A and B are shown apart, each in its own frame.
Chain A
Amino acid sequence: MKVLVPIKRVVDANVKIRVKADKTGVELANVKMAMNPFDEIAVEEAIRLFEAKVATEIVAVSMGGQACQETIRTALAMGADRGIHVKTDVELQPLAVAKLLKAIVAKENPQLVIMGKQAIDDDCNQTGQMLAGLLGWPQGTFASKLALAAGKITVTREIDGGLETVLLDLPAIVTTDLRLNQPRYASLPNIMKAKKKLIAETTPAELGVDPAPRLTTLKVEEPVKRKGGVKVKTVQELVDKLHNEAKVF
């Protein structure tokens, strides 16, 4: 069974994000980038399926500028077999990514697409769902556990207030939540070997997709700074402040 894992290059989770002075976006110049953490979980899950002899091939796909190949290399070092880089300098929004992935799915015929539930940069949480819609495939989102058997996949989903378990026919789309697994560190020998693995390059034009954004970003702003706290003397004063000033209830 072939597994496709889309991965996004995002600002490293440990970096303190700064908004550009002109408020058009966040500062990316000289900022450390890394694989979206949810996608790392997706890669890890695919590798575990491979180690369990359920998956036979893992293909990692990333889209964007040349530097995406570094992110693909990381997936290859973790254990993916080969990579596909969709080269473009256009800003990619979820619908464009879903369309591009649909075109790749048509070529690659994976039985399973495992992807992050969202990227930590724009927090859209849309691409997996859109791809499932475009392909007409079943989807198991926010997965915290997977089990494959007899052409079907059982997905345990983290939902408000508990867990929901769904059974999907393959092929299917799964999006990962934080607790699905703890991604491994690529071993140093595998990092060396990843250099020799293949990364195929393609473009939106070759895939027959117009990736132009449909949404316009009006402005990006820093969250309001947290104001200093106050000390209250009594519980009554606290309740009073919560009610009258913070308007919590």
Chain B
Amino acid sequence: MDLETRAHLKETVRRFVRERLVPLERKVEEDDAVPAEVRAELKRLGLFGLTIPAEYGGLGVDMATDVEIAFELGWTSPAFRSVMGTNIGIGSQGIVIDGTPEQKKKWLPKLASGEIVGSFALTEPDIGSDAASVKTRAVKRGDRYVVNGTKRFITNAPYANVFTLMARTDPSDPGAGGVSAFIVAADSKGIRLGKADAKMGQRGTKTCDVFFEDVEVPAENIIGGREGQGFKTAMKVLDRGRIHISGICVGTAERLIHESVGYAVNRKQFGKPIADFQLIQAMLADSRTEASAARALVLETAGRYDRGERTTMDAACCKYFASEMVGRVADRAVQIHGGAGYMAETAVEHFYRDVRLFRIYEGTSQIQQLVIAREMRRAFEG
């Protein structure tokens, strides 16, 4: 993408986030919901189609633009990004990356416009980090599959019109090779939703259990048209998603730093602004340095992704470092705010809870470490 258009996209999202969304943050905290009119505005803005190719009605931005926009979206409460987060990421990318032309034509334009919401259903009550072991079963009967199982913590499930579902099609292969990815319409008979999970943070986002009971799925809805490819698809989706999430972490760190500097300059103790104290300066400097390092890592990795290089390890490094980094930055931000930082009137209070999730979903920090080390060995051993 040319630099002028990229800058123009970024600037527009930046303005929208700061003028329109930031003033609504408290309301989202209190209501635990994003106002309906904001959902409509996000649709009108075209954000749902960010990563969906232009031929299917999206913007089809490259990874470098994707992360620049993530930096801007990260500035505000994650609930806003979550409105279209699954359409941009895990809820559409399976179809974008591995879908057949017919599947793309059928689903992507509506995902791009925001007419429908897509969710990604991999995690189960007994299966989290060990994602290759999914127990949900899909049994072939004629020209359809019959699905049974439970999915857990599924983001946007209460709004979803379509699921990218990971289910085991080959019981003789208990590992990755037995898993297939399906496109499942949310209004299929036999799908039931649990009640919305009560979460630590990220208020305004919704997750819940999704129960599949003898749900019939047309055979043509296997992503890519072939059994046994589901886990590979999921990993490709997460490879890209991890870079995006890392961009969000950087954006949130920037916001936390902005709040911290503002508070430190204005808050006076012992007769002067606390920003005059070197112990406060050390916290600010550490946060700034770490956020800048994460930003550089994310931009570098996005560039390499766009050049078609293998970035599995780099994406894991981004997710690991950026999510842990924003956790430390949020902790310092609360500390710099003193007692006020523990109170719901300050933005840092909810960001402190919000960012905790980034170290857990789309692969925990430990799983990122495992991926990084595995890739290191693979490169060494050949």
- Contact mask A185-220 → B, CB, 8 Å, 1/0? 111111110110000000000000000000000000
How does the 8 Å CB contact mask read for B29-48 relative to A, with 1 for contact and 0 for none?
00000000000000011110
Instruction: Assess A189 versus B59: contact at CB under 8 Å? Given A73-B4, A195-B2, A195-B5.
Output: yes
At the interface, is chain B mostly helix, strand, loop or mixed? helix
Q: How far is the CB of B48 from chain A (nearest CB, A)?
A: 10
Contact among A70, A188, A195 for B12, CB-based, below 8 A: A188
Closest 6 pairs between A and B when the two form their complex, measured CB to CB:
A188-B46, A189-B46, A187-B46, A191-B8, A185-B16, A187-B45
A-B contact pairs, 7 of them (CB 8 A): A70-B4, A73-B4, A73-B8, A74-B8, A191-B5, A192-B5, A194-B8
Given contacts A74-B8, A188-B59, 15 further A-B contacts (CB under 8 A): A70-B8, A73-B4, A73-B8, A186-B8, A186-B12, A187-B45, A187-B46, A188-B9, A188-B12, A188-B50, A191-B8, A191-B12, A192-B9, A195-B2, A195-B4
B192 within 8 A of A: no
Q: How large is the interface on A (under 10, 10 to 19, 20 to 34, 35 or more residues)?
A: 10 to 19
1-35 of chain B: CB within 8 A of chain A: 2, 4-5, 8-9, 12-13, 15-16, 20
Q: How far is the CA of A73 from the CA of B6 in the complex (A)?
A: 12
Q: Is the CB of B49 within 8 A of A189?
A: yes
Q: Which residue of A lies closest to B7 (CB)?
A: A70
Say how far B87's CB is from chain A's closest CB, in angstroms: 13
Q: Within 8 Å CB of B16, what residues of A?
A: 185
A77 on the B face (CB < 8 A) = yes
Measured in the bound complex, the distance between the Cα atoms of B66 and A188 in whole Å is 12
Verify A187–B44 contact, CB threshold 8 A.
yes
| A187 CA / B9 CA spacing, docked (Å) | 9
Q: What residues on A are CB-neighbors of B50 within 8 Å?
A: 188
Which A residues lie within 8 Å of B49 (CB)?
Answer: 188-189
Report whether over half of chain A's contact residues are helix, strand or loop; otherwise say mixed: helix
Residues of the A chain whose Cβ atoms lie less than 8 Å from the Cβ of B45: 185, 187-188
User: A185 is contacted by which of B4, B5, B15, B59 (Cβ under 8 Å)?
Assistant: B15
Give Cα A119 to B46, complex, Å: 30
Chain B 282-328 interface residues, beta-carbon cutoff 8 Å to A: none
Which residues of A lie under 8 Å from residue B15 when comparing CB positions? 185
Q: Nearest-CB distance from A11 to chain B (Å)? A: 15
Q: Give the docked Cα–Cα distance between A188 and B59 (Å).
A: 8
Q: Tell me, rounded to whole Å, the shortest Cβ–Cβ distance linking B38 to chain A.
A: 12
How far does the Cβ of B284 sit from chain A's closest Cβ, in whole Å?
A: 21
Q: Which residues in window 155-195 of A have CB below 8 A to B?
A: 185-192, 194-195
Q: What is the CB-to-nearest-CB distance from B147 to chain A, in angstroms, rounded to a whole number?
A: 35
Which B83-103 residues sit within 8 Å CB-CB of chain A?
Answer: none
Q: How far is the CA of A83 from the CA of B45 in the complex (A)?
A: 23
Cα–Cα, bound, A185→B16 (Å): 7
Q: In the complex the two chains form, what is the Cα distance from A70 to B2 in whole Å?
A: 13
Residues of B within 8 A of A70 (CB): 4, 8
User: For residue B49, which residue of chain A has the nearest CB?
Assistant: A189
Q: Which of A186, A188, A192 is B47 in contact with, Cβ under 8 Å?
A: A188
A185-B12, A185-B15 known; A192-B2 Cβ under 8 A: no
The distance in angstroms between the C-alpha atoms of A189 and B8, with both chains bound, is 11
Interface string of A74-97 (1 = CB under 8 A from B): 100100000000000000000000
A195 contacts across to B, CB distance below 8 A: 2, 4-5
Complex: A50 Cα to B16 Cα, angstroms: 24
- A190: min CB distance to chain B, Å: 8
Is the beta-carbon distance between A191 and B9 smaller than 8 angstroms?
yes
CA distance A188 to B2 in the complex (A): 14
A51 to B: closest C-beta gap in Å: 13
Question: In whole angstroms, what is the CA distance A186 to B9 when docked?
Answer: 9
Contacts of A189 in B (CB 8 A): 46, 49, 59
| Shortest Cβ distance from A188 into B: residue | B46
Question: CA A191 – CA B54 in complex, angstroms?
Answer: 13
Residues of B within 8 A of A73 (CB): 4, 8
A74 CB to nearest chain B CB (Å): 7
For residue B2, which residues in chain A have a CB less than 8 angstroms away from its CB?
195
* Bound Cα distance A189, B54 (Å): 9
Q: How far is the CA of A74 from the CA of B54 in the complex (A)?
A: 21
In the assembled complex, how far is the CB of residue A85 from the closest CB belonging to chain B, in whole angstroms?
14
A71 to B379, CA, bound (A): 48
* B9, B20, B47, B50 pick with most chain A CB within 10 angstroms: B9
A contact residues around B47 at 8 Å (CB): 188
**Binary contact readout B102-113 vs A (1 if CB under 8 angstroms, 0 otherwise):** 000000000000
A189–B47 CA distance with the chains assembled, in angstroms: 9
Which residues of chain A have C-beta atoms less than 8 A from B44's C-beta? Answer: 187
Residues of chain B within 8 A of A77, CB atoms compared: 8, 12
A189 to B12, CA, bound (A): 12
**CA–CA, A194 to B9, complex, Å?**
11
CB proximity of A130 to chain B, nearest CB, Å: 31
Contacts of A194 in B (CB 8 A): 8
* Residue in B closest to A69 when the chains form the complex, CB atoms: B4
